[in-house]
Chains A and B, each alone.
Chain A
Amino acid sequence: MEPAINWPDLQGNILRGYRKHFVRHLVLTVDRPAAACRWLADATSGDDSRTPQITTAQPWSGDKPTSCVNIGLTASGLAKLGVSPASIASFPHEFVAGMPSRSKLIGDTGPSDPSGWKREWQDHERIHLMISVHADNAAIRAAVADRIMAASGAFRLLAALDGEDFPGGKVHFGYRDSISQPQFYGVHGPDNRRDDQPLVEIGAMLLGYATPVEDIRWRVPSPHVLGFNGSFNAFRVLEQQVEQFEQFLSECADRLMTDPVGKRLLPPGEEKKWTPPMSRRDALREMVAAKMLGRWYNGVPLEMSPHSPSPQPPIGEEKLNDYGYSHDPDGQRCPIGSHMRRSNPRDAKIVQRNTNHARRIIRRGIPYGPMYDPALPVKAERGLLGSFMCASLTSQFEALQYDWTNLGLIDPRITGTNDPILGNNEPLHSRFTFPVGEEKVTFRGFPHFIHTRGGAYLFQPSISAIRYLASLGDGKAARKSSGAAYVD
């Protein structure tokens, strides 16, 4: 018998998104372990007066809170709080080794190599804890973050990473994001299901439950109270090369304007039926962008509407994820090599036959940096603060990155190519191919559009586990509320 999900014991950001428009991730070193343990105790005490409380998954009874707080720890963070070496050794090896040591496997090479990561991510051993504040507005975000830092006196701030939603849920590159997420047995029922994809076992996200890989259960790190109901987060700072991406779309559109295949890809005049109608060149740019992703900019799936982002009748919001690929075996509508189809093949035939639903991850991302305006291009760093959550980093996040995003092992027709948006492409070898009827369109010579600039593998403990961690400081903890040292 599977244990029932104990909602108040889970951190609230795992199985649901808060849909808050402002996020601050505080990347921290634990300077004073006893004080850090005391803060963990305070933050799970139910008493908001000392410090903001860690948000649990307990359903909200009344109004939504204006802010939510969650935490994740690295292996060195666990050690710093006093978790024993034997206990740390019971965590998965990739988590203990840390994200930078997995760089080649997950494609962090060339411009994404950890040696080029931002200063705060350079010394991996110093990164102990990330506290994420989700808020309704910037003022609340700042106030909550300041209260956390002031109340604890335990942490040194390595970086405060701010992300803000763009209008319409868009991210850099112009796509609408946060539409597809896995749905779980025991969580999603007939009244709150958003699509027909098979429900996923909760063990894909939380430790201690059956997983989508038949019969397999991941080890729950010991002691049980620390591991059970925990989850992992591959947190990534992903810089997006927006200017290069836009330029690439323009080059592709220019080619399709003269190449006869452009006419078959988008029958002339079709773009005038779009809402709003578009110039042919702009429409071809959008078409290429959609082929690279699997959805039009506005979120309409190519699979449901291959020629127009504004099909008639319109596709309702609740239907935007309700599709599969089994009727499109060759990728005529949605290319096999597109970002989405590689990242979740849904019901498509794939090489690793028992893996279709085994690598599902929860994605929570928010843009950082100013929005790119082609009319007024400002040089600035911009990208996505991305949390990729799962129960097994190596069999979900890393497996995705290693042989689907890159390598393309998923289907022989794309093996040897990388994800056109996310993959670590370099112009000499990069290739993105998709069929148009009997013909093929191939684009080459594009670079790596997304560079990793930092990140860490974090363990997201349950509320009981946080209390356990807090108890490790017992006896040693001295509550001092001296202001924390902010390092800019």
Chain B
Amino acid sequence: MTIWAKISAFLRRIMETVLVAFWRKVAPVKTPEPEYSTALADNLQMHMNLVMPLADQTAVGRAQAVQAVAANIDELFTGLSNVGTVHFARFDLVGGNLCMYSVFDGDFRAYIRDFISVFGSVFDALLGLVADPPPSPSALHPEEFIDWIHRHDAFQIPRDLTSLFPEERNIKNLSRDLVLLLDANRNVQIGRFSGYPGVSVAQIRHGTGMGW
């Protein structure tokens, strides 16, 4: 990169930062709450993408997180199975974040509630490693726990970007709105695909003779 290209990239970054800060003040956008759908099939196979920054993001801290998940993995998996509505769940470390991604049927809050009652205590132990954890134990603070999970669940961008800002009257502002949305939400889910839409986990278990 030439020196001029570097300078212009630097200036651009500064201008963008200033502009976003300005927009944030004069034309803030609200992150929409997840919408429930009236179509039955849209309420199955919901996604949760939990991104939880670790308190200690060094290799040592991350190793502790790996150990904590590994030590509890059987209990976590049995718990997930007992919730009854979970298709998949994964635990990943991405950068300095402990992530839990899962696909479940039905209402998010009901899922998290079942989750607390089935393996809240194990999860509480994991949350000890996370920066800014919710009050513990989760069972005695279910509302705070659910709100905390909701805040750490990456925002899911719908297929139709324009539906994100129903109040925006000027179509030209949509890209600005999107920038501001991403400014407020570092982690987002951009798209999801299902090979068998509109089917619950219990229907799959039942249909394949696994017992549900």
The interface residues of chain B lying within 8 Å CB-to-CB of A399 are 107, 110
Most chain B CB neighbours (cut-off 10 Å) among A403, A418, A429: A403
Q: How far is the CA of A411 from the CA of B201 in the complex (A)?
A: 10
Chain A positions 213 through 234: 1 when the CB is less than 8 Å from some CB of chain B, otherwise 0? 1111111000000000000000
Q: Which residue of B lies closest to A102 (CB)?
A: B36
The answer to whether A354 touches B212, judged by C-beta atoms less than 8 angstroms apart, is: no
**Which chain A residue shows the least CB distance to B83?**
A352
Q: Are A402 and B118 in contact (CB under 8 A)?
A: no
Q: Could you say which of B37, B40, B206 contacts A416, with CB atoms under 8 Å apart?
A: B40
- How far is B145's CA from A218's CA once the two chains are assembled, in angstroms? 11
Bound CA span A398–B113, Å: 13
Given known A-B contacts A409-B105, A416-B198, A403 and B114 have beta carbons under 8 A apart: no
A193 on interface, CB distance cutoff 8 Å: no
Indicate whether A415 reaches chain B with its CB closer than 8 angstroms.
yes
Closest to A417 in B: B40
The smallest C-beta distance from A90 to any residue of chain B, in angstroms, reads 9
Across-interface contacts of A407 in B (CB, < 8 A)? 40, 43-44, 106
- Residues of the A chain whose Cβ atoms lie less than 8 Å from the Cβ of B147: 93
Closest CB of chain B to A474's CB: distance in Å?
31
Size of interface on A: residues with Cβ below 8 Å to B: 36
B82 part of interface (Cβ distance < 8 Å): yes
Which one of B23-31, B91-99, B136-144 is at the interface?
A: B136-144
Note all chain B residues with C-beta closer than 8 A to A56: none
Minimal Cβ-Cβ distance residue in B for A217? B140
> B120 on the interface (CB 8 Å rule)?
yes
Contact B200 A415 (CB under 8 A): yes
Cβ contact within 8 Å between A216 and B139? yes
**A105 in contact (CB, < 8 A):** yes
Residues of chain A with a CB closer than 8 A to B37's CB: 104
A350 to B207, CA, bound (A): 16
Partner of B139, one of A215, A411, A413: A215
Sample of 8 further A-B pairs with CB below 8 A, known A92-B143, A104-B37, A415-B203 = A93-B147, A104-B36, A215-B140, A351-B200, A351-B212, A403-B43, A409-B202, A412-B212
Q: List 23 A-B contacts (CB under 8 A).
A: A105-B107, A110-B38, A214-B139, A215-B120, A215-B137, A215-B140, A216-B142, A217-B139, A218-B142, A354-B83, A354-B117, A395-B109, A395-B113, A398-B107, A402-B43, A402-B106, A402-B107, A402-B110, A407-B43, A409-B202, A412-B200, A412-B205, A415-B203
A interface list, Cβ under 8 A from B: 92-93, 104-105, 109-110, 213-219, 350-355, 394-395, 398-399, 402-403, 406-407, 409, 411-413, 415-416, 418, 424, 429
4 nearest A-B residue pairs (beta carbon): A215-B139, A412-B202, A104-B36, A412-B206
